[in-house]
Amino acid sequence: MRHSITHAPSKARVEWIVLVADLVGTAVFAVEGAIAAMHAQLDLLGVMVIAFIVALGGGVTRDLLIGATPPKAVADWRYPALAFAMGGVAFVFHEQVLGWSGSTLIVLDAAGLALFAVAGAQKALNFGISPFVSMLMGTITGVGGGVLRDIVLARVPVVLQADLYASSAFVGAVVLIVGRRLGVPPVAAALLAGAACLLLRLLSVHFGWQLPKVLEA
């Protein structure tokens, strides 16, 4: 009895962390998806579709892979409602949103990446997935929506060429899982992991850090 009482608050706290990170990340990536759609000169429907894809594509992919069915984006109305709402807000206020600086968009994207990497890795752990695969699930959650967006918009996925994009998500997931294995409290581990992902992504953009690539002569 004492064991269950002791761990109930911890489990509830972990689930709360996943929910908050997932919802905030959904809002952030929905706006980013809407911006990409407006830059591609899509109409309102196109903007809403891309906002939905970017916001929820990574999470849906993660849920299907770990057996969390139906995916949260389908089972919980808050996810699609939030994605469509943020996409609609971005469309209505397009003059202001499209006027945001490149630096603002980079920070916004990095924040969404960090939130989804943390939420994805933690949810995979919650479902009994092994630590290494949970790291991959955190990465997929962070980059999946962007990959689907770029495929729909017929361009090379940013994740395959950007400055340490997927790598930043993976590092964030690693920090979270290592922290949890070492007994770091859930909130502290999530904050450290999110900060690691965010910092690495921003530093890689600032200094132009990239993984090695083959350049044709």
Q: Which domain holds residue 73?
A: 2-207
Predicted confidence (pLDDT) per residue in 49-85, tens digit: 999 999 999 999 999 999 999 998 889 999 999 999 9
CA gap 66, 86 in Å, rounded: 27
Tens-place pLDDT, residues 120-137: 999 999 999 999 999 999
Q: Is residue 217 part of a domain?
A: no
> What count of other Cβ atoms lies within 10 Å of the Cβ of residue 178?
15
Q: Does some domain include residue 151?
A: yes
125 class by beta-carbon count within 10 Å (0-12 exposed, 13-18 middle, 19+ buried): buried
CB 52 within 8 A of CB 26: no
| CA nearest to 117, candidates 199, 162, 155, 174 | 174
Kindly report the pTM of this predicted structure: 0.89
pLDDT digits (tens, 9 = 90+) for 198-213: 999 999 999 998 888 7
pLDDT at 8 over 90: no
Domain presence at residue 124? yes
Structural domain total, the chain: 1
| Residue 213 falls inside a structural domain | no
Domain presence at residue 119 = yes
Phi-psi region of 41 (alpha: psi -120 to 50; beta: other; left: phi over 0): left
107 falls within a domain: yes
